[in-house]
């Protein structure tokens, strides 16, 4: 069959791109190697992890804050089987939603491994070994990523596990080691820490969530240690891990070069993700991946070295974020249709779904200093927020960075309640190149968490925050 566009992969980048292509009148097909749509995000990433984060947060609040709220409970316990079952149901609802959207938009789908015969011909190999071919004027590679494997950290998927297996542990472990202080490790670590697991985080760098503004990592580490008892081994280089029976031993070197040994029931290896291109047949069309991260090189239009072949999402350079992949999916669809879309990569927000949540957009203080940009900074703590006091969510702050001369907002960084949702206000403001004064002059409903953004903007303009 001949298509205008064939998309390999049905994750957030792939399925969103397919829908936008169909909306633009392009005959579209999607090839997915697994039985369900949605890729890593919907099946073993964003959605299931947020389901467990939400469930574990309910339990943690019931165990630690309900009494203060005047709610007394007896015999509180964790039903792990039900928690996992609810997570699976959430996943099923979301993947079924994509099936519905494909039918609604008249998108054809094929189950199997898609690989290039030539730049316009795709072979689909099914699980039973049979195959078929389809042709397309344009092809979009949206094959995503997989957990990074390290030779000295052999994953057995039983005791030494990745984020995928961590979503299906059937009991609450007494102890757990998380290798990697990034987003994935901290989110999954906090799930089990809330349920009562003693969690130890081993990180090579001197700070957690190192790609975000430095102040956010310091505050998050402080809060996770205080509220969940999480232990942090910073500046530690992991040298190996071995599983014996029901225990895992992790060896590392601390900042002084001294050997350190840690033992736990489980070890989650969360040291990043690598672009997944296995079996795509890229060599058949002359595409070579980058040595670092296995990324597919693309130009400003997200087109590869082969005309008519595009790549989006985790498989190309940039942050591995579902919403980045979605925007790129729309961008490519509109480019193929002859439109002139744009993406401002500096304004793609990053979020960590711990509690408190962490969110960031634009330049960090470290980046502005490195660039030599003169800026103003204004911060406002949630402990001074009436809404945060009412909900007992007083940890964290909002920081606004603005150009010293023009007052244009250059970056907004926050850690606190519902930061994942609040960051959208900053993104909108920065898309329209607003000044800190603009946000300071906008009326924010009271009492809300977003008042902290206004106060931080006021602090950035003449240091005139009202409530501190």
Pick out the residues of the known binding site: 50, 114, 180-187, 203, 272, 314, 320-323
> Do 310 and 363 belong to one domain?
no
The phi and psi torsions of 435 (rounded to 5 degrees) equal -95, 165
Stretches where the chain sits below pLDDT 70 are: none
DSSP per-residue codes, 21-42:
HHHTT--EEEEESSSSSSHHHH
Percent of the chain whose predicted confidence (pLDDT) is above 90:
99
> What domain range includes position 445?
356-462
Tokens matching residue 156: 């057995």
Q: Does residue 292 lie within any of the structural domains?
A: yes
What confidence tens digit (pLDDT) does each residue in 78-100 have?
A: 999 999 999 999 999 999 999 99
- Give residue 308's pLDDT: 98
Q: Does residue 37 lie within any of the structural domains?
A: yes
Among 220, 236, 271, identify where a domain stops: 271
Among 235, 253, 271, identify where a domain stops: 271
Q: Does residue 78 lie within any of the structural domains?
A: yes
> Do 240 and 310 belong to one domain?
no
What confidence tens digit (pLDDT) does each residue in 200-258 have?
A: 999 999 999 999 999 999 999 999 999 999 999 999 999 999 999 999 999 999 999 99
Q: At what angle do helices 214-228 and 183-194 cross, to 10 degrees?
A: 20
Tokens matching residue 47: 């959605």
Q: Does residue 351 lie within any of the structural domains?
A: no
- Give residue 180's pLDDT: 97
For 10, the 3-state DSSP assignment is: coil
- Give residue 1's pLDDT: 81
The β-bridge relationship of strands 409-416 and 309-311 is unpaired
> Do 30 and 143 belong to one domain?
yes
Pick out the residues of the known binding site for NAD(+): 180-187, 203, 272
Percent of the chain whose predicted confidence (pLDDT) is above 70:
100
Choice among 58, 69, 446, 467 that is catalytic: 446
CB < 8 Å & 24+ apart, contacts of 83-87: 83/52, 83/55, 83/56, 84/167, 84/168, 84/170, 86/51, 86/55, 87/48, 87/51, 87/52, 87/55, 87/167
CATH code for position 265: 3.50.50.60
What confidence tens digit (pLDDT) does each residue in 25-47 have?
A: 999 999 999 999 999 999 999 99
Angle at the Cα of 71 (from 68 to 76), degrees rounded to 5? 105
> Do 401 and 433 belong to one domain?
yes
Pick out the residues of the known binding site for FAD: 50, 114, 314, 320-323
- Give residue 429's pLDDT: 98
> Do 190 and 49 belong to one domain?
no
**What are the CA-CA distances from residue 387 to residues 165, 240, 382, 447 (Å)?**
37, 46, 9, 5
DSSP per-residue codes, 365-407:
HHHHHHHT--EEEEEEEGGG-HHHHHHT----EEEEEEETTT-
> Do 54 and 101 belong to one domain?
yes
Q: Does residue 91 lie within any of the structural domains?
A: yes
> Do 120 and 21 belong to one domain?
yes
> Do 182 and 249 belong to one domain?
yes
The answer to whether residue 446 is catalytic is yes
Number of domains making up the chain: 3
SS3 for 223-287 is HHHHHHCCEEEECCEEEEEEEECCEEEEEEECCCCCEEEEEECEEEECCCEEECCCCCCHHHCCC
> Do 363 and 248 belong to one domain?
no
Q: Does residue 393 lie within any of the structural domains?
A: yes
> Do 297 and 362 belong to one domain?
no
Among 242, 271, 300, identify where a domain stops: 271
| pTM of the full structure | 0.97
> Do 96 and 28 belong to one domain?
yes
Residue 158 CA to residue 146 CA, distance in Å, equals 18
Residue 58 CA to residue 38 CA, distance in Å, equals 26
């Amino acid at each position: 069959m001949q298509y205008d566009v064939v998309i390999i992969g049905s994750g957030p980048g792939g399925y969103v791109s397919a829908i936008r292509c169909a909306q633009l009148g392009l005959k579209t097909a999607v090839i997915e190697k697994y039985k369900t749509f949605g890729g890593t995000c919907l099946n073993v990433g964003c959605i299931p992890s947020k389901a467990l984060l939400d469930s574990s947060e309910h339990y943690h609040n019931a165990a630690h804050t309900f009494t203060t709220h005047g709610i007394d409970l007896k015999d509180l316990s964790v039903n792990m089987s039900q928690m996992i079952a609810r997570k699976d149901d959430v996943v099923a609802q979301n993947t079924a939603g994509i099936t519905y959207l494909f039918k609604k938009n008249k998108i054809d789908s094929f189950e199997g491994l898609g690989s290039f015969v030539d730049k316009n011909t795709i072979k689909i190999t099914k699980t039973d070994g049979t195959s078929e071919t389809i042709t397309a004027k344009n092809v979009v590679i949206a094959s995503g990523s997989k957990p990074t494997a390290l030779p000295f950290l052999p994953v057995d998927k039983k005791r030494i596990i990745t984020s995928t297996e961590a979503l299906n542990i059937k009991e609450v472990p007494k102890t757990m080691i998380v290798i990697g202080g990034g987003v994935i490790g901290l989110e999954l670590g906090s799930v089990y820490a809330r349920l009562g697991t003693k969690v130890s985080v081993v990180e090579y760098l001197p700070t957690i969530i190192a790609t975000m503004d430095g102040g956010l990592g310091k505050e998050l580490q402080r809060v996770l240690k205080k509220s969940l008892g999480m232990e942090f081994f910073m500046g530690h280089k992991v040298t190996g891990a071995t599983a014996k029976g029901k225990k895992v031993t992790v060896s590392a070197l601390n900042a002084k070069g001294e050997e350190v040994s840690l033992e736990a029931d489980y070890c989650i290896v969360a040291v990043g993700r690598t672009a997944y291109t296995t079996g795509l047949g890229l060599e058949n069309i002359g595409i070579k991946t980058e040595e670092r991260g296995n990324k597919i090189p693309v130009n400003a239009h997200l087109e590869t070295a082969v005309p008519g072949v595009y790549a989006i999402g985790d498989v190309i350079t940039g942050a591995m974020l579902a919403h980045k992949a979605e925007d790129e999916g729309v961008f490519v669809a509109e480019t193929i249709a002859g439109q002139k879309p744009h993406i401002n990569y500096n304004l793609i927000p990053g979020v960590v779904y711990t509690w408190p949540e962490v969110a960031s957009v634009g330049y960090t203080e470290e980046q502005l200093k490195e660039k030599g940009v003169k800026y103003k900074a204004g911060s406002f703590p949630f402990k001074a927020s009436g809404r945060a006091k009412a909900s007992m969510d007083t940890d964290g702050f909002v920081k606004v960075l603005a150009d010293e001369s023009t007052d244009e907002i250059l970056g907004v960084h926050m850690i606190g309640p519902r930061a994942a949702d609040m960051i959208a206000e900053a993104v909108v403001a920065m898309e329209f190149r607003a000044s800190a004064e603009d946000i300071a002059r906008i009326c924010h409903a009271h009492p809300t968490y977003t008042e902290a953004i206004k106060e931080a903007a006021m602090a950035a303009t003449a240091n005139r925050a009202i409530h501190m």
